[in-house]
A and B are shown apart, each in its own frame.
Chain A
C-alpha cells in the first residue's frame, strides 16, 4: 500500500484511471490517497456521477416539465416529468438512476422510485463501498438484523425506512464511518447490532 498525492508520478498502466491525469505521456495522481490493488482510494472527495449509477435524491423544486433534485453535488440533478410514472412533491426521497452527465457536469436522472417515509443521511461518497460491503455483505447484515429497509446511493445519500429499529441503523452507520479498519469489520458490526437490539428489548 503506497501513499499518492497530487503530482506524484504513477505507472503508465494507471492511464485513464479515476483520480489520475496525464501530461506528455506520463501519468500522475491528482488526489491524496492510497494505492490499493492498482486503484487509488482517496482520502476524501466529492461524488463523481457516472451514467448508470443508482443514487438517492431529494426532490427540491418542481420546475417547468420536471423536477430539480438534490443529489449531494454542487448543482442539482434534473428529472423530467416524462420519466416519472408517479407525481412527485418537494421533499420526496427517490431512488433513481443517472441517465446522462454532460460536459459541464449537469446530471439528468431517470427511473425514479419514490421511497416512503423515512430518514436520510449524507455520508462521504468515498465511504459508500464500506457501508455496502463486499458483495453487499455489510448492508444486507444490517437489513437482516434490524428488519429495516435501507438504500445506499452511490452519491453518499442513504435512506432508511420508518422501521422501529431505525435509531439502531443510524448508530450503526455512524459506527462504520468512524471505524473503518478493513479486517473483521463485518463481524464486529454483527456483534454490535446483536448487542444494541438486545439492549432495546
Chain B
C-alpha cells in the first residue's frame, strides 16, 4: 500500500506545480465547514466539527479536583485527543501516539495562552477547584485535524454549562450558568510542498506536505504557533500566512457564533 501513497504524493506534487490543488479549491480556501453544538447529553458541553469529510467530536466535562500547588485559587483544565482506529486506515489502536499528543497540546495552547477562560472562576473552596476535561475524539481523518479539533473544542466550550457545587458534589439540575469565554480562538493550518503553501490540507495533500504551520488567532493577535514537518518556512512566508490566518479567523468565528 505504500506504493499507492507514493503515487498519491507524486500526483499532488505534479498538480501543485501547475498551480492547482487536488480538487477545484483555491490555495487559501477552506473546504465546507460545519459545527454542531450540544450533541452529547452526557457532557457539560459538546460539539461536532466538520471540515470537508474530517469529523471531530469534542466533549467538555467537569469534575472536582485539586488545584496546582503554585496556583491554589485557580481551576485546572486538561486537553486530550484520541485518534479512533477507524478514523484513518493507518491508525492502530493503542496508547496515544506522537500525532495525537501534539494535536491535543496545540489545541490546548490556543485556549490557555489566549486566557479566554478565567480559571479563577473555577475556584470552589479551600483545596477544591473545578477540573475541566476537554476530550477531542477524532472520528474521521481526511486531513487537517488541527483546525477541525480547534473548532470542535471552541464549539464545545461555547455551549458548556457550569455545574453547581453543593455539599462537596457537582449538581447538574435546574438552571445552570454558561461557561464565560472572553473571546474566541480559531486555528489555521497551512501545508507546504514544492515551495507552494496552501491552507486546510486534505488527506492526500497532507501526506505530500513537507512542512506544516498552524496559527492560533484571536481577533488581531496570534496566540499560538506550531510548525511541524522537516521543511522550512521563510520569514516572508510566515508573515503572509499570518495575514491569511487573520482573514480566515473572521470567517470561522462567524461559523462558530451562528
Q: Do chains A and B touch in the complex (CB under 8 A)?
A: yes
Measured in the bound complex, the distance between the Cα atoms of B1 and A60 in whole Å is: 8
Main secondary structure of the interface of B (DSSP, over half): helix
Measured in the bound complex, the distance between the Cα atoms of B11 and A90 in whole Å is: 16
- The 8 A CB mask of B8-44 against A (1 = contact, 0 = none) is 0001000000001000000000000000000000000
Q: Is A161 an interface residue (CB 8 A)?
A: no
Contact A58 B20 (CB under 8 A): no
Measured in the bound complex, the distance between the Cα atoms of B10 and A90 in whole Å is: 14
Residues of A within 8 A of B11 (CB): 119-120
Q: Is B6 an interface residue (CB 8 A)?
A: yes
Q: Is A116 an interface residue (CB 8 A)?
A: no
Q: Is A28 an interface residue (CB 8 A)?
A: no
Measured in the bound complex, the distance between the Cα atoms of B4 and A59 in whole Å is: 10
Given contacts A119-B11, A167-B20, contact A91 B4 (CB under 8 A): no
Quick one: closest A residue to B22, CB to CB? A170
Measured in the bound complex, the distance between the Cα atoms of B7 and A167 in whole Å is: 16
Measured in the bound complex, the distance between the Cα atoms of B5 and A90 in whole Å is: 13
Quick one: closest B residue to A69, CB to CB? B3
- The 8 A CB mask of A164-178 against B (1 = contact, 0 = none) is 000100000000000
Residues of A within 8 A of B2 (CB): 60
Quick one: closest B residue to A121, CB to CB? B11
Quick one: closest A residue to B20, CB to CB? A167
Residues of A within 8 A of B6 (CB): 91
Residues of B within 8 A of A59 (CB): 3
Quick one: closest A residue to B18, CB to CB? A167
Contact B20 A91 (CB under 8 A): no
Residues of A within 8 A of B7 (CB): 58, 91, 120
Measured in the bound complex, the distance between the Cα atoms of B107 and A78 in whole Å is: 46
Contact A70 B1 (CB under 8 A): yes
Q: Which of B3, B4, B11, B20 has its CB near the most chain A CB atoms (within 10 A)? A: B3
CB distance from B202 to the nearest CB of A (A): 14
Contact B3 A70 (CB under 8 A): yes
CB distance from B52 to the nearest CB of A (A): 14
Measured in the bound complex, the distance between the Cα atoms of B7 and A7 in whole Å is: 40
Q: Is A115 an interface residue (CB 8 A)?
A: no
Residues of A within 8 A of B3 (CB): 58-60, 70, 90-91
Q: Which of B2, B4, B6 has its CB near the most chain A CB atoms (within 10 A)? A: B4
Which B residues between 193 and 234 are near A, CB-CB below 8 angstroms? Answer: none
Which A residues between 58 and 84 are near B, CB-CB below 8 angstroms? Answer: 58-60, 70
Residues of A within 8 A of B4 (CB): 58, 70, 120, 122
Quick one: closest A residue to B7, CB to CB? A120
Which A residues between 36 and 70 are near B, CB-CB below 8 angstroms? Answer: 58-60, 70
- The 8 A CB mask of A77-99 against B (1 = contact, 0 = none) is 00000000000001100000000
Measured in the bound complex, the distance between the Cα atoms of B14 and A120 in whole Å is: 13
Measured in the bound complex, the distance between the Cα atoms of B21 and A167 in whole Å is: 11
Spell out B's residues near A (CB within 8 Å): 1-4, 6-7, 11, 20
Spell out A's residues near B (CB within 8 Å): 58-60, 70, 90-91, 119-120, 122, 167
Question: What would 18 A/B residue contacts be, using CB atoms closer than 8 Å?
Answer: A58-B3, A58-B4, A58-B7, A59-B3, A60-B2, A60-B3, A70-B3, A70-B4, A90-B3, A91-B3, A91-B6, A91-B7, A119-B11, A120-B4, A120-B7, A120-B11, A122-B4, A167-B20
